[in-house]
Structure formats: structure tokens, C-alpha cells
Amino acid sequence: MLVNATEMLKKAKAEGYAVGQFNINNLEWTKAVLLTAEECKSPVILGVSEGAGKYMTGYKTVAAMVKAMIEELNITVPVALHLDHGSYEGAKKCIDAGFSSIMFDGSHYPIEENVAKTKELVELAHSLGISVEAEVGSIGGEEDGVVGKGEVADANECKMIADLGIDFLAAGIGNIHGKYPANWQGLDFEALEAIKNATEGMPLVLHGGTGIPADMIQKAISLGVAKINVNTECQLSFAAATREYIEAGKDQQGKGYDPRKLLLPGFEAIKATVKEKMELFGSVNKA
């Protein structure tokens, strides 16, 4: 069932768990995430970065594929199709293409401009029943060309953006896209607590979910995080399983080169990673 992400995240916040956003790259990725969500009876958010949208030939292709797959696979759990780190133009395109949720990442603009652009997109998206995520501070590292310095979000600025009527807020709290460096200082829970207090009931979003230790995930959820984004971890699982298959020479045995066989271990590996995350985030049996 394709829905916006508002209700699923309100429920998650009220009941003390988080819904996973898993970024998709192609048909195998999408199918793996949807089937796992259904098996786990978990709500789920499919994240699409602008780079991944372009790779899949455009947002219309993605929206059509996701809608058809939900129907053909009989997916009954709530699924949101969400633009990840969208630009102003990208957000408008996804609204037109039939996404059920968008993120506008105006964190690199001065706060006044972030406020003005977010406000405009909230009005447009909400008139069509589409949910909106905004960002304050920034996520360190790089994802599909979106680079952040990792500034910790200012609680007052978070309140300014939350007051625009957005549905959920991504705030930089020392989190990083991609693998965490060995000398990573961990999440800034003081900042998270200040943001939680300043934004009252707002569901908060933790980006850079790959490699954050379980105890930090649980503490973040207890401080208002209701959505956790995972991208790199599925890529690493897919790559490792594919490498193992090829290094074992299985692509050269029988018809092991058949793409449906060649991509199967990676597909299964994504499913296992998604299941593990849904269990850790507490969203199993919450659909």
C-alpha cells in the first residue's frame, strides 16, 4: 500500500520505535526491500537519491515501478516512496512523478532561504497529500554527490523549520553518510535532546544509519528519532555476496552467468540486512 510517511512516523514516535528508510538502486533492490517489509510486517520507506533516480532513468520510471511492484507482489504493509536529499527542483519533479513523500535538503542555504523554500514546498506537497522532510545542520561525508561538512544542527533553527508544518526533520548530530571513520566521536546526544525539546512532537530522522552501534540507535530512538536511513550497508552486503559468488566461480558453472542467478546472492544479502535493521529499529509487526 503506497502511503505518505506522516502517519507511520507519528505512530513510530508514539510507540518508541523507528521506521527504516532503505535506499533503492534498481529492480532487485526494490523487490528485496518490499518483500522483506511484507515478511516482517513492517512499515517501510523506499529512499531515492537524485543520483539513483537519474540512474533508474527518471522519477517517473521509479514511481511506476514501485506502484506496480506493490500491486504485483501483493504488498499490504505501508510503503512510502520518498525522495532523499532532494533539491528544490528535484522535489517538484518527484511531486509531479507521483512520489508519496519528499525530502527537501536546504541545509546548505542560509537559514532564511532554507525556511522560504521549505515553506513553499510544504504548501505544494501538502495540497497533494505528500509528506515532507526538511534538514538543518548537515550530514557529514558524501552520498551521490551530496556533500556535507557534518555541522551539528542548532536547536532554534530546527524549531524555525519544524514550525513550517513539515512532517519530519533531519538534524545533523554528528552522523555521517557512508562508513564511519575509526576516530568517529559518536552521535551528539546533547544536541539531539535539545532538538527534541525545541521541536516538541516532531519525528526526527537519523541519516547515515550504516554502522551506528545498536546502543546508539536505541538511545537515539528514545530521544525522538522515528526514521533511520540506511543505504551503504545494503550496498556492502550486496557487493560482498556477489563477490563471493564470482570468486567461487559459480558464474562459470552451468548457467551461473544468468543474471537471475548472478544477482540472487546479492538480493538475498540485501534482504538479510533489511531484516536485521527492522529488528534493531523495532518496526517488526508494527504494520
What residues are annotated to the active site?
84
Cell of 262: 548472478
Closest CB 281 distance from ligand 13P, rounded Å: 13
Which cell is 112 given? 532564511
Options 43, 106, 174, 209; binder of ligand 13P; rule CB under 6 A: 209
Nearer CB in complex with ligand 13P: 66/176: 176
- Nearer of residues 143 and 167 to ligand 13P, judged by Cβ: 143
158 CB-near residues (< 8 Å, 6+ apart): 136, 169, 171, 195, 198, 199
Tell me if 277 contacts ligand 13P by CB under 6 A. no
- Pick from 42, 101, 199, 232: which binds ligand 13P (CB under 6 A)? 232
Which amino acid is residue 79, in one-letter code? Answer: V
177 binds ligand 13P, rule: CB under 6 A: yes
Site string for ligand 13P, 124-163 (x = CB under 6 A): -------------------x--------------------
Identified binder of ligand 13P from the candidate list 198, 204, 220, 230, rule CB under 6 A: 230
How near is the Cβ of 250 to ligand 13P at its closest, in Å? 28
Span near ligand 13P by CB under 6 A; candidates 161-169, 217-225, 228-236, 250-258: 228-236
Q: Which residues bind ligand 13P (CB under 6 A)?
A: 23, 47, 84-85, 143, 177-178, 207-210, 229-233
